[in-house]
Amino acid sequence: MKLMRLPFFITVALLVGSAGYAAELRLSDYIRPMVGTKGEEGNTYPGPSAPFGMIQISPDTDTTNWNTDSGYAYADPTILGFSLTHLTGTGCPDLGDFLFQPQVGTPALEAGTKDRPQEGYQSTYSHAEESAGAGYYQVLLKKSGINVELTAGERAGMFRFTFPAAADASILTDLAHLISGGRWRVAQSHVRIEDNSTITGFHLVNGWAKERYLYFAARYSRPFDHAEIFSAGKPVVYNTYRFRSHNEAAGTNLQFLASFKTGDHDIIQVKVAVSAVSAANALQNLDAEIPGWNFDLVRERTCARWDQELARIQIEGTPVQKETFYTSLYHASLAPNLYEDVNGQYRGFDSAIHQAKGFTEYSVFSLWDTFRAEHPLLSLIQEPRDADMINSLLVHYDQSVDHLLPMWELQGNETWCMIGYHAVPVIVDGYFKGVKGFNVQRAYDAIKTTALSPDYDSVAAYAKLGWVPCDQEDESVSKTLEYAYDDWCVARMAKALGKTADYETFMKRAASYTNIYDASIGWMRPKDARGNWRTPFDAHAFGGGNKLADVTEATSSQYSWFVPQDVPGLIRLMGGNDSFVAKLDSLFDANLSQVFRDEMSTNDLRGCIGEYWHGNEPSHHVIYLYSYAGQPWKTARRLHQVITTQYGNQPDSLCGNDDCGQMSAWFMFSCMGFYPVCPGSDYYVIGAPQIPHVVMHLSNGKQFTMAAKNLSDENIYVQSVRLNGRDWDSPFLPYRELKNGGSLIFTMGSNPGAWGTHPVLPQ
Amino acid sequence: MKLMRLPFFITVALLVGSAGYAAELRLSDYIRPMVGTKGEEGNTYPGPSAPFGMIQISPDTDTTNWNTDSGYAYADPTILGFSLTHLTGTGCPDLGDFLFQPQVGTPALEAGTKDRPQEGYQSTYSHAEESAGAGYYQVLLKKSGINVELTAGERAGMFRFTFPAAADASILTDLAHLISGGRWRVAQSHVRIEDNSTITGFHLVNGWAKERYLYFAARYSRPFDHAEIFSAGKPVVYNTYRFRSHNEAAGTNLQFLASFKTGDHDIIQVKVAVSAVSAANALQNLDAEIPGWNFDLVRERTCARWDQELARIQIEGTPVQKETFYTSLYHASLAPNLYEDVNGQYRGFDSAIHQAKGFTEYSVFSLWDTFRAEHPLLSLIQEPRDADMINSLLVHYDQSVDHLLPMWELQGNETWCMIGYHAVPVIVDGYFKGVKGFNVQRAYDAIKTTALSPDYDSVAAYAKLGWVPCDQEDESVSKTLEYAYDDWCVARMAKALGKTADYETFMKRAASYTNIYDASIGWMRPKDARGNWRTPFDAHAFGGGNKLADVTEATSSQYSWFVPQDVPGLIRLMGGNDSFVAKLDSLFDANLSQVFRDEMSTNDLRGCIGEYWHGNEPSHHVIYLYSYAGQPWKTARRLHQVITTQYGNQPDSLCGNDDCGQMSAWFMFSCMGFYPVCPGSDYYVIGAPQIPHVVMHLSNGKQFTMAAKNLSDENIYVQSVRLNGRDWDSPFLPYRELKNGGSLIFTMGSNPGAWGTHPVLPQ
């Protein structure tokens, strides 16, 4: 597949080798938006977005398949049109607001089917006539011969439609279109024809986000020859009884059709913007961000923004490495999304309009995923933005009816997706990584109040018993483990703030993981309120075998490793280093149990190595645990295996949901040779670098350089390390060694060697 | 019926005659909110409201009967509960937002039926155990023995529930309750339990107003013993998959139940407020307006406000006259309604949140009705408020997609009800009555643009042809007549602003009424685009007999008189004074045609005198037309007949929809001896006073006194008039004689006399 039509000089440059072409290519040229679009795993979208942008215009090939969560599946034969908002890598569909689709001939108002696209507005297309890059997407719609180009700024984007000659060209806007998995619905919408080349619209959606408001504005480069609104497929006509305007309509199934007569190659451009506040704000966003009609300028500005973002981590490597790495950084820089208008207004967790004061409001917090590596990455290279995100979490806390930090926030709504209270590690990690710009006392109050919630997910029972009782609460194994870690984060911050009583309370809770370890089977195991183990129980069954309910999206053999706050304690529980390593080995060497296999799709299984499942987050820190047990070479071996088999620069290169950047952030840390196994702690675990040279530009202006001498496909093991000019034998990288810049120089070799085999955790 | 439980001293005072009790009673004591609640005509509500208030808490006895538009029908045997908003006197149901109903015993979540109230939360009641007055309503719910008292301020009100001893007392809040006529629906709602004694909620309603947002907040005087949310009748319980809070819910059919254990006579109070903007604003409105818990203080403040409002027109008369007059002034001072929050925010015609700058935003503009006498009354005694209302019309114009002034505005929505563009006479009358505080040029632009709309209701065809063609548009007779009058208003203002070309254009359009007068039948008659008369056509048939479509809610014999801008021209058309008077007589003397009768309910017919139908607005100026033709004694006779038979102080005293005060404003002007037959002109028509003495306090601080010497049930004819100390033989009262205060002294007698028989219109 040709992801991007490169100019000729670049194609030539590619042929002369990495040294030769580096000078010619911009960093944004390495972005491959198609990565993650093939198969049902990645759930990324190919359309353009500015870094952390509010608008993401992208083609939708499906709205009803539950697993096509970004709206685009590479294998789908048709494109329904191009909607303005998309989620990146989530495991649940939503957004896809306001579809635009150009047509020629009698305009279709129904989508039609993939099998019979001629009966609707969807069109066949070919990947050979499709291209995607930073701030740009292009496709030729086969049915109409219309070439579609998309670009996007932060809140506003632009369509460039190149039409054939047609007496009846048109552009349809469907306000009822949603990426719904067949479930979500528009509760209310309206549309207004503001003037002869401008429309605005709105819908209120009952979706994954239970009550989601979104507005849009669109300005067309040419006055409409004819403009018509449809409701449930029928023209909204002026009538003298109840509705005396053909310029606006309200309802649940509205469409707008702009019609034109076009000459061959006539270009019609449409500028679009969104707002969660009002149509007026959408118009303001549009006019502020894209005052003119220069598509290429919008694209170029967004490319320049991407150049800036990607320059935060500069690497050397092969073109494939660069494409994979920079696409990862791209994917890790799409969400959370900007969620305030140019005037600072946003729609809060209480559905009301608020003014962001002293911070920028962000939305889309996939926290169960992103606390692991995505936010730790942002705290290093995006400190001001991470502060904005923390402030966004705090206003959500203020606005939440239950005074809880968000669990999975989506456009001003709590989706209550997943488990734990992982806004806590995001805030605590930010605090310990020196992120400034949020009120520390207010943040501490929020994390403590959240962790002490009397209502949320059996936290109260957990606090009392020391574990989440499996007879009272689903997913009790995972919840116990994750609460314990989150509580350790609270304790860390309590200690730093001199709150000794809180520190002791939460440190006690942080040890709760010990309460559900069943030494007789060697795995974490659900326990009821009276202290009895769940029986029968299968540690290798998805969900634990108990109607899938005891373990979250995993087996106990995968989840039992989630004790990042006290890996030495876990090692002791599991019988010491040798036993621990043997158990880790057994995970990778296992034959996948049938009961696990039954729950996984064929695509998901691509992400498995034995029972290790890289495609889902509970496994993400597991490989690094070898290093705690004195066998860092096993970390190196498995990292190399995962990075070479589960990532790449192709559409099918992602083996699991990118989950708003978490999969990508894992890749980048791992390539750089260290990983935040325990966000909120003061250290990273040194793994094994996968690229020869990295310069990370920290937010404080310092540079941290990583170099991997002698790295090759054979030389995957760390032989020695020099950290800031000193020999460094520990597999742990203290944050204090990183934060002021410096260097981490690996010497690699083909044998495991003895480096790092005597781990001592930094104090 | 005992409308109000009067204190003993007042009851005694009533016995000693008007001179004796006048000193004891406050003006607000004369308010009889029950007037207009009996039968299907008045459509008023009995619950409390502050003058022009945003909140009107009132009992609802019905939601599905299309004719119970205020929610309360005196004849209904049960009360469903008490909702927070109501329309006064409209002919279409809406509002009734957020029902509160206290119960004891197992709480019902369904309303039940009138026949079987025991199966639901509705309760029987007795008018003997019910009372209503200024800022106050009380009823004993028979089923539960709970005494309910209501009071209201501008944006916030209060419930006082006196419970019997009960282990299971409760207060239900139903967010799906609507005064819907069986048609409207909640598209979305949510409710939040903010703390142990506070809730907030919201619904978005598809009703008469197509997209109406309303929020509320409620604070309870006692913490909930138990608080529960229900969705579609089922408890909203915490569950671990999608919804992890029992403190909030979203849906279309939500209820909240607060439960308490009560001792005998335990009082639980609930403070409530509404906002069209947000729950936070509703809370802000509540806390700003009612910081404490003193029910009687809230009531007293609202009574004091009513005392102030009613003191704008001070009359002498019998108790019945005072009750009827002050209740009319009360009803004329309920709408339009305040529609901005204490912080100045409101929801505009574009659904967006706006900040009112330099004016106060009002809503509920029943303009087809209120341009006639309601707004002319406000322009005299409520100048600042009328300016606010004009500014509200102008922002609606700004926010309207079609750049039209509103036709029938309801809470930020255009309902497109009725015909004409009668914001024009409201603005123009305000302009010529010296209402300050709005931008005259902006106002002129708005009225001219509205009158030139290319889209609205065949205005374009009317402008071209000189009439609305009946083959292209319904209600063509009424539209032609009303456009012509509205256009005369535009022309008046154009002339005043020196816009000569506009003046000529619109004066030509103002003469359009002549184009549809068919001399062969002597009535206005529908005409098609080619100039052919509608055939067959029945001038005495409701709607003209053509599927009721040619004349709006009337016969041509009623509507043909609508040429207020040029009554002399109409007289000429109709063959001169004698012929004109004979035709007027025929209207009152007619036997009601069957085809008219068939379209009217028995109740509506109560408002008829022959074919004159006082119960609907097209007739409202007709009686005064006698005075233009030199027979003012016939004006006097018919006024006396209407006022003594169609108005009063009883629940069934109103013979037609009060229509946001228009019926009541007619009454007051007529009682005072003059009427604004042609709003926008410089004169009133002098009729015949119906009360002995009036002092009208104009907004400019001047007093205008009316006295009617020798007035009695026999002495109903004007014998002579002294205006500002001079004899005045004209039946017209120039505004210039009124605006600086002064006196209008009638001498009345039992014979018609010769006064006013040589009318000359003021120039």
- For the stretch B620-635, pLDDT in tens is 999 999 999 999 999 9
Return the pLDDT at A328.
Answer: 98
Average pLDDT over residues A706-713: 98
Average pLDDT over residues A181-208: 97
d(CA A647, CA B680): 77
Which residue among B373, B401, B435 closes a domain? B435
What CATH code is carried by the domain that includes residue A45?
Answer: 2.70.98.10
Structural domain contains residue B560: no
Average pLDDT over residues B167-196: 97
Confidence band of A241 (pLDDT split at 50, 70, 90): low
Structural domain contains residue A526: no
Structural domain contains residue A98: yes
What is the pTM (predicted TM-score) of this model?
0.94
B523 Cβ contact list (under 8 Å, min separation 6): B517, B539, B556, B557, B560
pLDDT value at A360 more than 60: yes
**Weakest-pLDDT range from A193-197, A632-636, B40-44:** B40-44
| Chain A residues with beta carbon closer than 8 angstroms to that of B344 | none
* Chain-chain contact of A246 with B455 (C-beta, under 8 angstroms): yes
Helix axis angle for B383-399 and B423-432, nearest 10°, is: 140
Return the pLDDT at B595.
Answer: 78
**pLDDT per position as a tens digit, A423-470:** 999 999 999 999 999 999 999 999 999 999 998 999 999 999 999 999
Structural domain contains residue B460: no
Give how far the C-alpha of residue A531 lies from the chain's centroid of Cα atoms, to the nearest Å.
Answer: 38
Phi/psi at A231 (5° precision): -125, 125
Q: Is the peptide bond preceding residue A406 cis, with omega within 30 degrees of 0?
A: no
Return the pLDDT at A41.
Answer: 83
Instruction: Report the percent of chain A where pLDDT is more than 70.
Output: 96
Average pLDDT, chain B: 94
Closest CB to A280 among B188, B252, B350 = B350
Which residue among B287, B306, B325 closes a domain? B306
Asked whether residue B268 falls in the same domain as residue B417, the answer is: no
B524 Cβ contact list (under 8 Å, min separation 6): B477, B480, B481, B513, B516, B517, B518, B539, B556, B559, B560
Asked whether residue B144 falls in the same domain as residue B110, the answer is: yes
| Chain B residues with beta carbon closer than 8 angstroms to that of A241 | 416
Cβ neighbours around B189 below 10 Å, total: 23
Q: Which amino acid is at B99?
A: L
Q: In what order do the strands lie in the sheet with B58-60?
A: B58-60, B81-83, B99-104, B166-174, B254-262, B226-231, B234-235
Asked whether residue B47 falls in the same domain as residue B169, the answer is: yes
Return the pLDDT at B544.
Answer: 87
Asked whether residue B77 falls in the same domain as residue B60, the answer is: yes
| Chain B residues with beta carbon closer than 8 angstroms to that of A193 | 401
Asked whether residue B321 falls in the same domain as residue B351, the answer is: no
Radius of gyration of chain B (CA): 26
**pLDDT per position as a tens digit, B528-542:** 999 999 999 999 999
Instruction: Tokens for A385, please give them.
Output: 């933005």
* Chain-chain contact of B245 with A475 (C-beta, under 8 angstroms): no
* Chain-chain contact of A352 with B279 (C-beta, under 8 angstroms): yes
Average pLDDT over residues B611-616: 94
Given CA atoms A690, A693, A697, A702 in this order, what sign does their dihedral have?
Answer: positive
Confidence band of B14 (pLDDT split at 50, 70, 90): very low
Return the pLDDT at A593.
Answer: 79
Residue of B nearest to A456 (CA): B244
- The shortest C-alpha distance from A552 to chain B (Å) reads 12
Confidence band of B23 (pLDDT split at 50, 70, 90): low
Average pLDDT over residues B42-63: 97
Structural domain contains residue B601: no
Return the pLDDT at A2.
Answer: 25
Using beta carbons and an 8 Å cutoff, which residues of A are at the interface with B? 187-188, 190, 192-194, 202, 204, 206, 210-211, 238, 240-248, 250, 252, 277-281, 350-353, 401-402, 407, 414-416, 455-457, 473-475
Given CA atoms B433, B436, B440, B445 in this order, what sign does their dihedral have?
Answer: negative
The total number of residues written for chain B in this structure: 763
* ipTM for the whole complex: 0.92
Instruction: Report the percent of chain A where pLDDT is more than 90.
Output: 90
Return the pLDDT at A239.
Answer: 76
Task: Indicate the number of domains in chain A.
Answer: 4
Interface test with B, best of A240, A256, A284 (most B CBs within 10 A): A240
Q: Is the peptide bond preceding residue A319 cis, with omega within 30 degrees of 0?
A: no
B735 contacts B376 by C-beta, under 8 angstroms: no
Confidence band of B594 (pLDDT split at 50, 70, 90): confident
Average pLDDT, chain A: 94
Query: Counting one residue from A and one from B, how many pairs have CB atoms under 8 Å apart?
Result: 110
Instruction: Report the percent of chain B where pLDDT is more than 70.
Output: 96
Asked whether residue A640 falls in the same domain as residue A718, the answer is: yes
Asked whether residue B295 falls in the same domain as residue B370, the answer is: no
Q: Which amino acid is at B445?
A: D
Average pLDDT over residues B209-233: 97
Asked whether residue A733 falls in the same domain as residue A676, the answer is: yes
Burial class (CB in 10 A: 0-12, 13-18, 19+), A477: buried
Return the pLDDT at A1.
Answer: 21
Confidence band of A240 (pLDDT split at 50, 70, 90): low
Asked whether residue B289 falls in the same domain as residue B195, the answer is: yes
Return the pLDDT at A4.
Answer: 29
* Chain-chain contact of A401 with B455 (C-beta, under 8 angstroms): no
pLDDT value at B718 more than 50: yes
Structural domain contains residue A534: no
Confidence band of B524 (pLDDT split at 50, 70, 90): very high
Return the pLDDT at B762.
Answer: 83
Which residue among A415, A435, A455 closes a domain? A435
Asked whether residue B166 falls in the same domain as residue B293, the answer is: yes
DSSP reduced 3-state for A184: coil
Interface test with B, best of A245, A254, A349 (most B CBs within 10 A): A245
Interface test with A, best of B185, B192, B231, B245 (most A CBs within 10 A): B245
pLDDT value at B746 more than 80: yes
DSSP reduced 3-state for A442: helix
d(CA A47, CA A49): 7
d(CA B254, CA B252): 6
**pLDDT per position as a tens digit, B90-145:** 999 999 999 999 999 999 999 999 999 999 999 999 999 999 999 999 999 999 99
Asked whether residue B262 falls in the same domain as residue B368, the answer is: no
What CATH code is carried by the domain that includes residue A393?
Answer: 1.20.1050.60
Confidence band of A12 (pLDDT split at 50, 70, 90): very low
Return the pLDDT at B602.
Answer: 75
Return the pLDDT at B238.
Answer: 83
| Chain B residues with beta carbon closer than 8 angstroms to that of A240 | 457, 473-475
- The shortest C-alpha distance from A163 to chain B (Å) reads 30
Average pLDDT over residues B405-419: 96
- The shortest C-alpha distance from B24 to chain A (Å) reads 49
Structural domain contains residue B440: no
| Chain B residues with beta carbon closer than 8 angstroms to that of A395 | none
d(CA B575, CA B563): 15
**pLDDT per position as a tens digit, A526-540:** 999 999 999 999 999
pLDDT value at B599 more than 90: no
Closest CB to A250 among B211, B455, B475 = B211
* Chain-chain contact of B456 with A244 (C-beta, under 8 angstroms): yes
Structural domain contains residue A351: yes
Asked whether residue B62 falls in the same domain as residue B173, the answer is: yes
d(CA A175, CA A186): 8
Q: Is the peptide bond preceding residue A117 cis, with omega within 30 degrees of 0?
A: no
- The shortest C-alpha distance from A275 to chain B (Å) reads 12
- Give chain B's end-to-end CA distance (angstroms, integer): 50
What CATH code is carried by the domain that includes residue B763?
Answer: 3.30.2080.10
Return the pLDDT at A242.
Answer: 64
B61 Cβ contact list (under 8 Å, min separation 6): B68, B71, B72, B73, B76, B78, B79, B80
Q: Where are the alpha helices (DSSP H) in B433-499?
A: 440-451, 459-465, 476-496
Give how far the C-alpha of residue B456 lies from the chain's centroid of Cα atoms, to the nearest Å.
Answer: 25
pLDDT value at A6 more than 60: no
Range of the domain at A360: 341-435
